């Protein structure tokens, strides 16, 4: 029997797939949950890669991929993300949606919450993403 993560956009709720996420994800029994802390637009030394939102966004997603790889997971195993965007606006939304769709193409997108914030914990950081991933036991 193959265990599968379900991705659901039910009738009665808008389909957010063009923004790069799903309304509901359902995790099967007998799985291991992995919680990944907020990933910022900084390099391995903790230095900001840029003062530019787009550059920080790309680095944050790259850092998320690194964290997933470290636990033997792939983007397809991410079931929930939370995104924090400093001084959020329509252009930042467009960039975030494009990056989410690049990481999660097709219809297997995680559930997502985006929270506009005035600043993040690290001075100069403009974007942060955390994740919950599921490792399926066979």
Which tens digits make up the pLDDT trace of 19-33? Answer: 999 999 999 888 999
pLDDT interval class at 3 (50, 70, 90): low
Where does the pLDDT of residue 136 fall: very low under 50, low under 70, confident under 90, or very high at 90 and above? confident
Which H helix or E strand runs over 132? strand 127-136
Identify the structural domains of the chain with CATH numbers, from first to last. 6-136 (3.30.1330.40)
The two tokens of residue 40 are 């910022």
pLDDT in tens, 27-60: 988 899 999 999 999 999 988 889 999 999 999 9
Q: What is the pLDDT of residues 60-104, one digit of tens each?
A: 999 999 999 999 999 999 999 999 999 999 999 999 999 999 999
d(CA 103, CA 74): 10
């Amino acid at each position: 029997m193959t265990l599968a993560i379900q991705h659901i956009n039910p009738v009665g709720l808008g389909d957010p797939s063009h923004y790069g996420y799903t309304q509901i994800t359902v995790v099967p029994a007998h799985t291991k949950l992995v919680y990944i802390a907020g990933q910022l637009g900084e390099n391995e030394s903790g230095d900001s890669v840029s003062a530019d939102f787009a550059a920080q966004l790309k680095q944050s997603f790259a850092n998320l991929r690194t964290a997933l790889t470290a636990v033997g997971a792939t983007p397809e195993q991410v079931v929930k993300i939370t995104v924090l965007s400093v001084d959020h606006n329509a252009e930042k939304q467009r960039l975030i949606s494009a990056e989410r769709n690049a990481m999660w193409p097709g219809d297997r997108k995680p559930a997502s919450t985006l929270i506009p914030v005035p600043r993040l914990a690290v001075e100069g950081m403009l974007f942060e993403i955390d994740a919950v991933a599921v490792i399926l036991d066979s």
